[in-house]
Amino acid sequence: MNQVVIEECRVDDGDDGPYAVTAGPDGALWFTLVHGGRIGRLVPRGDMTSHQLDDAGCAPTIICAGPDGALWFTEYKGNRIGRITVGGAVEEFALPTAGSGPFGIAPGPDGALWFTESAADRIGRITPDGHVTEFALPAGGAAFPSAITAGDDGAMWFTLNQGHAIGRIGPDGSVTVHPLPTKDAAPVGITRGGDGVLWFVEIGAGQIGRITVDGRITEFPLPDRGARPHAITTDSHGVPWFTEWGSNRVGRITADGAVTTYDLPTPGSEPHGIALGPDNALWVALENGALARVAVTGGA
């Protein structure tokens, strides 16, 4: 019988706020410390180090591995995109639009990084050498584009947190918006699920959603509709896992919508980002100052 084992590893004193986490090309976990203006690095069951950014108030938010062997991250308050090598060298790129609030970031199929400008209703694209292009979203305003990921169709897919919709942007900048069936769903995290499907979370409605690349949407209510699901990823078997910020849990969902949730060891740990680690466990950024390792033993 499968068993889920959750262990926590403290990475700060509780004030710096681990927010997002990703696997690096060096076999380590890299994570943002949103309140401390730092980027952290943790070797599973090994050492932890961190790198202070020049602006402690820049609010590094989402982080991902880039196509160039470096890690790329958004600076929500600094209005920049950052790049850090596995050796700790940092480079930062200012964005053309002031106060744009960059939030989500992910590698695209074109060798560039794509990101959301949540406060400017734009999608941005940055090449590894720092060239930035911005694409305005359709008129409407205050849609708050949030997380972003590559789909199986060669496009980037993103959530519109205040637009209550899922968006798609093609390589040429053309945008399609798919409104969600549920009012005030407020989607945040999104991830590629394979087979032409993307999974996302609805923090406002307490649901997990699925959308095909041709725009067909299915929503699955969580057992606890007040759970405030925040981020989502897939494990090594392609199973979606998500964080429940409001209920201090992580959960997983099957293709037909069956949900299983697991309590985190420390009450009030505020789980945010989640990613598959280099050790094939799921890792969760806990804003109370830790990373949680979630391992399934005994099989898939």
Residues known to be catalytic? 272
Q: How far apart are alpha carbons 9 and 27 in whole angstroms? A: 17
Q: How far apart are alpha carbons 62 and 159 in whole angstroms? A: 14
Q: How far apart are alpha carbons 87 and 41 in whole angstroms? A: 10
The two counts, helices (H) then strands (E), for the chain are: 0, 28
Q: How far apart are alpha carbons 258 and 179 in whole angstroms? A: 24
**Do 19 and 64 contact (CB within 8 A), yes or no?**
no
Q: How far apart are alpha carbons 97 and 49 in whole angstroms? A: 33
How buried is 228 (Cβ within 10 angstroms: 0-12 exposed, 13-18 middle, 19+ buried)? buried
Helix (H, G, I), strand (E, B) or coil at 81: strand
**Phi, psi (5° rounding) for residue 60?**
-60, 135
